[in-house]
Chains A and B, each alone.
Chain A
Amino acid sequence: MNIFKIIDELQKVDGDVVGRLEHASRRHFMNRMGSKIATIAAPMAFATVVNKAYAQSAGAIDVLNFALTLEYLEDEFYKAGNAAANLIPATDKAIFAQIGKHETAHVAYLVKALGTKAIAKPTFDFTYGGAFADVFTNYKTFVAVSSALEDTGVRAYKGQAGALIADPTILKVALQVHSVEARHAAIARRLFAVVNASPTTKAWITGKEPLIAAVAPIYAGEDNMTQGGVDITGLASKTNAAISEAFDEPLTKEAVLAIATPFIKKM
């Protein structure tokens, strides 16, 4: 007897079934998720939390679908890159395999969590309308686009944290994905520095230096020196470069979509 499947079925005829269950015995219900089954069950139980949350927080659904759009983008990008013959050198394959694995997992989680509310997967143009024509034949271009996508993902999730403040469960998930994208961004930039012969490029973002000119909009505002309403120029006697590196900046959804749209052939 799979309690979660039953709840799912009930959900179809009674949208408030979880609420009823939780009202009846919240703690008891949640405690059924023993640690062994939690990882498998979590997406489904989580889906019901989200489904239940529909009435309270349509905003959270929008945020999750926005995240899903970007995760689809990254997932398809790495699927293509990892499959491309003679693109990624043997030494670097493990890195991009790991990144791709995470993006696939992110898509799977969001699709399950959103259920019928999940947007369909778009078709993508990773040449960015021709600006990156050799993205899957030239490793330098591939690493540049990878770094740019990851940095964009970090800024996108960060920009949505505030919108999720009323949804602590979803906010926590968003934070846990956000830091993984930051790990990706760091390693991709580390490769970029070598592969693109750019020794001054670091794993962290210095000022608003774009990796390559074409991706300048991704780094707009990263030279920000005002934190918490205070100009922190000179803080700890450190340089502007160091201070700008110490804080990653958010991007609004609109700004991210403006950056991402040329990658989207068809929604």
Chain B
Amino acid sequence: MSFDGRKENETFIAMNKIKNSINNSEKEEGKISSPVDRRFFLRSAGLAVSAGALAIACKDDDVVPMDPVAGTVDLGSGDVGVLNYAYALEQLEAAFYTQVIATPYSGMTDAEKTILTDIRDHEIIHRDFFKAALTKAAPTAIIPALQVNFSTIDFTKRDAVLGAAKLFEDTGVAAYNGAGNMIKDTGYLLLAGKIVSVEARHASVIRDLLNPKSADFAGDNVVDANGFDQAIDPATILAAVKPYLLTTVTGANVGK
């Protein structure tokens, strides 16, 4: 790729701004939106980066809102806490499936690609929906974009990718089921209800892809003797997804 001199210059200026910001902000306390090294983020997201290829249009303003943050983010309390919690998990899933489709595993069939693309789109829709809803309902409490970490997932291998997908979907179902009865507003409860069943459909299909024609779509390791799916509290869920987030997410007051 070649750039005209001006573009390269702008990129150079932008990167220096970010570098300086990182150096300055590391000492700052309580500041959530510290700028993030774009190259680090892109590498985490698995995208190849070469020197000078960062043709990102940077304005002179500070952090572009979609820059994911490192550091710690708290989900907040009450219903807003639950919405932020859902938003966080959907961010994780959307980022994961975006990577899956961007770098498909070896031997991905057309049918699998269709399914995984659908799932990606659903998670992106969920994520953007929560972002819009929170921006409107709680503009000062909405969490920022979270920085993900998929370095432990080998995106070239089918079993690794589908295994991770199964984990994310089952976890999503358990999270919604575990937080549902903390919601006070019937409108929010209904929204959560509309989404959790779609996550359960995802989980069922992923599990069938991993072990076709078996009972695994709703296996005994996830549906108990009463025929109940899991319902897990936020603290346990956040601990389970922690390996996949560089941002530390806390949620002690979700639903409270």
Residues of A within 8 A of B (CB): 39, 42-43, 91-92, 94-95, 97-99, 101-106, 108-109, 154, 158, 161-162, 165, 168-169, 171-173, 175-187, 190, 202-204, 227-230, 232, 235-236, 238, 242-243, 245-250
Contacts and interface: CB of A to CB of B under 8 A. Distances in A.
Interface string B9-42: 0000000000000000000000000000000000
A181 B183 CA distance: 22
Contacts of B195: 246-248
A186 B201 CA distance: 5
Nearest to A171: B181
Interface stretch (B63-71, B99-107, B142-150, B225-233): B225-233
15 contacts: A39-B224, A95-B215, A102-B218, A172-B181, A179-B196, A181-B197, A183-B204, A186-B202, A187-B208, A187-B217, A204-B118, A204-B122, A242-B118, A246-B195, A246-B198
B230 A176 contact: yes
A158 B125 contact: no
Size band of the interface chain B makes with A:
35 or more
Contact of A105 (B118, B200, B226): B226
Interface of B: 115, 118, 121-122, 124-129, 132-133, 173, 176-178, 180-184, 186-187, 189-191, 193-205, 208, 213-215, 217-219, 223-231
Contacts of A178: 193, 196-197
A146 B218 CA distance: 16
Contact of A245 (B122, B127, B129, B190): B122
Contacts of A175: 176-177, 180-181, 193, 196, 229, 231
Contact of A227 (B129, B180, B182, B183): B129
A230 B215 contact: no
A186 B204 CA distance: 6
Most B-side CB within 10 Å, residue of A42, A162, A236: A236
Contacts of B189: 161-162, 165
A236 B200 contact: no
